[in-house]
Amino acid sequence: MRAIVREGPCGRKELASAIGVSFTTITKTVTELIELGALTESAAATPRGVGRPVVPLDVPAAQRLVVGAHLHPGSTSCGAFTLRGEQVAFRTTAAGGRTQRERIEEAARLVDDVVTEAGVAAVLGIGMTTPWAEVHHGQPPPLLSDVDHDELRNGLRERLPHPLRLEPNVRALAVEHHWWGAGGDDVLTVLVGRSVGVAQMRGGELVWDGPGAGGLVSHVIVPGSGFPCACGQVGCVKATCTDDALLQRAVAAGLLPPGALQRDLYPASDTEQLQGLRRDRAEELGRVIPLIMSLVAPGETTIRGRLGTPDEISTCVEAIRLRFRALVGREANVRHHGGERPDFWARASAALALDRYLASPLEHEGGRASRGSPVPVP
């Protein structure tokens, strides 16, 4: 199933060769999966050289869907997608909840609406992302989407019967890049936003596990940084490279008013002073990200997040390459990956549900018959 989702439709012999399993085993397993409706056969046989025509195997379209939802400071979004990442349904709503409980109920209602629209019986699971791995206390104050991980998970499980996977957003991006973004087999994802998070997919699996994973680099020291951190150190990533740190410096310098938000760092009418702050941050990232890369040794590295203008993004990527070359003596396979489609975060979240399903398709398929309709939210 994993090979077919990742590589596309293929015949039984191709599949046996690709994953190193006997043709007899493939035939037996495929027969079971077809009977369950987890795989389909192409109606038209595809001739491929001499011999019996190849009948490609593929995953079904609308009969098997994954749902993803995301909490943002200003909105909640949710979408249903095929196992190939094609959008079937998508909804977004402005954040109206003023408390953690209200935001959880808001998310549950939206997910329930999308599941109903997509078809309850077709949904294999739900993925949910929180905007960052760290709970922000003190300054800046917590935003509406600073929802406790356990509270969110328990609140959603009370209302939704489908399998649920809840992760920090950087881990969802890493999974989405692997299954739907043509990522390689060993990719480090670095997400720069209110915090700087990391996640690594290696051999089709997330290397680090647990709800706190993805916020592990906050207190790595950025070489040359003199910014004090609340932890007592000087030069932490959290105090140097995050949007929170950048926002604090912009307000202190009078470039932005008190109460400014993350998006104000990237205004339509830009200023040279803000550009200067972002360029400095790009170079600071260029000094610390190669340290992380040299530690975990990924095959490739993908930088995500709204870093600034294309020139500022190029400055960051080039700084990473130069520093990595100086550290380890070889070229870095690194690039910035954008993604501004409206369903961007919902799609990344849905990839979590896909990843969970592909870890044990037969277990999921066996549990489908026992699941009823979602519990309506009062």
Using one digit for the tens of pLDDT, what is the confidence trace for 352-367? Answer: 999 999 998 888 787 6
- Predicted local confidence at residue 142, as pLDDT: 47
Cβ contacts of residue 315 below 8 Å, gap of 6+?
279, 282, 283, 286
- Cα gap 357→129, rounded to integer Å: 17
Q: Please check whether residues 222 and 191 belong to one and the same domain.
A: yes
**Residue 374 is assigned to a structural domain of this protein:** no
Taking the model in full, what pTM does it have? 0.88
Q: Please check whether residues 300 and 209 belong to one and the same domain.
A: yes
Q: Could you give the angle at which helices 243-252 and 272-296 cross, rounded to 10 degrees?
A: 150
Domain tally, the chain:
3
Q: Please check whether residues 237 and 146 belong to one and the same domain.
A: no
- Predicted local confidence at residue 369, as pLDDT: 52
- Predicted local confidence at residue 132, as pLDDT: 53
92, 342 contact by CB (below 8 A): yes
**Low-confidence spans in the chain with pLDDT less than 50:** 133-145, 372-378
**Residue 10 is assigned to a structural domain of this protein:** yes
Q: Please check whether residues 247 and 213 belong to one and the same domain.
A: yes
- Predicted local confidence at residue 338, as pLDDT: 80
50: domain CATH number is 1.10.10
Q: Please check whether residues 196 and 321 belong to one and the same domain.
A: yes
**Residue 134 is assigned to a structural domain of this protein:** yes
307: tokens are 């870093």
- Cα gap 124→80, rounded to integer Å: 10
Q: Please check whether residues 149 and 228 belong to one and the same domain.
A: no
- Cα gap 56→43, rounded to integer Å: 9
Parent domain of 10: 2-58
Q: Is 284 exposed, middle or buried (0-12, 13-18, 19+ CB in 10 A)?
A: buried
Q: How many CB atoms lie within 10 A of CB 253?
A: 12
Residue 235 dihedral angles phi and psi, to the nearest 5°: 95, 15
- Cα gap 216→288, rounded to integer Å: 13
Q: Please check whether residues 120 and 264 belong to one and the same domain.
A: no
